[in-house]
């Protein structure tokens, strides 16, 4: 055997021995146990929803509860889709969510670029005041915003859901600003030398460099708007205008609630969010990690 091979084998054996000789710390075991319990508590309601969507009414409230349905009732899914106009509700949710996400990405990235790179008097104070709006509870602005929507004639229209949510998102501005602040100023200076104005710099320099942050923010915005229930409940009254979360609420009656159909419809409504997250989870992690590393 060659000398280099012997040395390599010795190093590998030594590393294996060191790894095996390491003691597992009790704190590490306790941490993993806590994480496993926490993960189960987080996923248990979702698993129960799926399980209940495959049961009939007689199995849902059994004591002790049964996790596995017997018999399995797949008919709940087509029944839930035909019991209510879910096709229209899905269309409403998709196009409202798409418009709000697009508006959020454009307006928040513009505001973030202005706060991060364009110097003007009072910019820091204005940014602090802008962030302070995140501390105002939604219940405080609910009535004034409803009055504004009523004066504009937007009650029971999708404009009441699209315009306020699409044009103002303090969290998105903060997230993107932190990322843009880490972009070297030399790139802007080079663009200025080439004759680019601020709008051209924003479009051709800034946006391509913040794609991970835009992807992460877009996904967060998508999940928030898709799952929104309170705003549609306040502004919409016509079933043809309902979104998916609001339409699911119609399964709940005053004296009787068809829990099997509600769970089936809820499971179906979760699918778009799961698909988006599975496809874009890498961008979410990368965007958050890169944003957190900026000064």
Q: Are residues 216 and 272 in the same domain?
A: yes
Q: What is the distance between the alpha carbons of residues 1 and 263, in angstroms, rounded to a whole number?
A: 66
Residue 60 host element (H or E): helix 57-60
User: Beta partners for 275?
Assistant: none
Number of domains in the chain: 2
Q: Are residues 171 and 30 in the same domain?
A: no
Q: Are residues 111 and 234 in the same domain?
A: yes
Cβ atoms of 109 and 291 closer than 8 Å: no
Q: Are residues 97 and 207 in the same domain?
A: yes
Predicted pLDDT of residue 18:
44
pLDDT digits (tens, 9 = 90+) for 222-262: 988 999 999 999 999 998 899 999 988 887 765 567 788 88
Q: Are residues 49 and 136 in the same domain?
A: no
Q: What is the distance between the alpha carbons of residues 214 and 159, in angstroms, rounded to a whole number?
A: 24
Q: Are residues 100 and 155 in the same domain?
A: yes
- Helix, coil or strand: residue 233: helix
The dihedral built from the CA positions of residue 210, 211, 214 and 216, taken in this order, carries a sign that is negative
Q: What is the distance between the alpha carbons of residues 190 and 197, in angstroms, rounded to a whole number?
A: 11
- pLDDT mean for each 10 residues of the chain (295 residues): 50 49 74 92 89 86 82 87 85 94 94 89 87 87 93 94 91 89 87 88 89 86 90 91 89 72 87 82 65 49
- 100 falls within a domain: yes
Task: Specify the CATH number for the domain of residue 174.
Answer: 1.10.3720.10
Residue 113: HSE in the Cβ half-sphere, 13 Å Cα cutoff = 21
Give alpha helix (H) positions in 168-258: 170-180, 185-193, 198-201, 207-209, 211-226, 230-235, 244-248
Q: What is the distance between the alpha carbons of residues 106 and 117, in angstroms, rounded to a whole number?
A: 16
Q: CA geometry: angle at 79 spanning 74 and 81, to 5°? A: 110
Domain that holds residue 18: 3-53
Considering 34, 53, 72, which residue would you say is the last residue of a domain?
Answer: 53
- 75 falls within a domain: no
Predicted pLDDT of residue 20:
46
- 61 falls within a domain: no
Closest by alpha carbon to 252, among 239, 243, 261? 261
Residue 268 host element (H or E): helix 259-292
Predicted pLDDT of residue 139:
85
User: Concatenated DSSP letters for 235-265?
Assistant: H--SGGG--HHHHHGGGB-SS-B-HHHHHHH
């Amino acid at each position: 055997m060659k000398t280099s091979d012997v040395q390599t084998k010795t190093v590998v054996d030594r590393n294996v021995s060191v790894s095996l000789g390491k003691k597992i710390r009790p704190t590490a075991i306790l941490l993993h146990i806590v994480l496993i319990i926490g993960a189960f508590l987080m996923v248990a309601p979702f698993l129960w929803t799926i399980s209940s969507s495959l049961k009939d009414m007689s199995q849902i409230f059994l004591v002790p509860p049964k996790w596995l349905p017997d018999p399995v009732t797949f008919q709940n899914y087509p029944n839930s889709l035909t019991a209510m106009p879910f096709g229209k509700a899905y269309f409403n949710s998709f196009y409202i969510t798409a418009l709000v996400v697009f508006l959020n990405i454009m307006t928040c990235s513009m505001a973030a670029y202005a706060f991060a790179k364009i110097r003007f008097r009072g910019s820091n104070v204005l940014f602090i005041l802008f962030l302070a709006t995140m501390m105002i509870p939604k219940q405080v602005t609910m009535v004034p915003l409803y009055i504004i929507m009523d004066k504009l004639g937007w009650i029971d229209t999708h404009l009441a859901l699209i315009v306020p949510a699409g044009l103002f998102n303090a969290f998105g501005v903060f997230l993107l600003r932190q990322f843009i602040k880490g972009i070297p100023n030399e790139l802007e200076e080079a663009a200025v030398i080439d004759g680019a104005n601020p709008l051209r710099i924003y479009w051709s320099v800034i946006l391509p460099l913040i794609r991970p942050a835009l992807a992460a923010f877009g996904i967060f915005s998508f999940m928030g708007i898709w799952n929104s229930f309170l705003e549609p409940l306040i502004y919409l009254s016509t079933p043809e205008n309902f979104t998916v979360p609001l339409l699911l609420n119609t399964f709940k009656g005053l004296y009787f609630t068809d829990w099997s159909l509600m769970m089936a419809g809820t499971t179906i409504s979760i699918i778009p969010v799961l698909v988006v997250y599975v496809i874009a989870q890498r961008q979410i992690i990368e965007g958050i990690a890169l944003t957190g590393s900026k000064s």
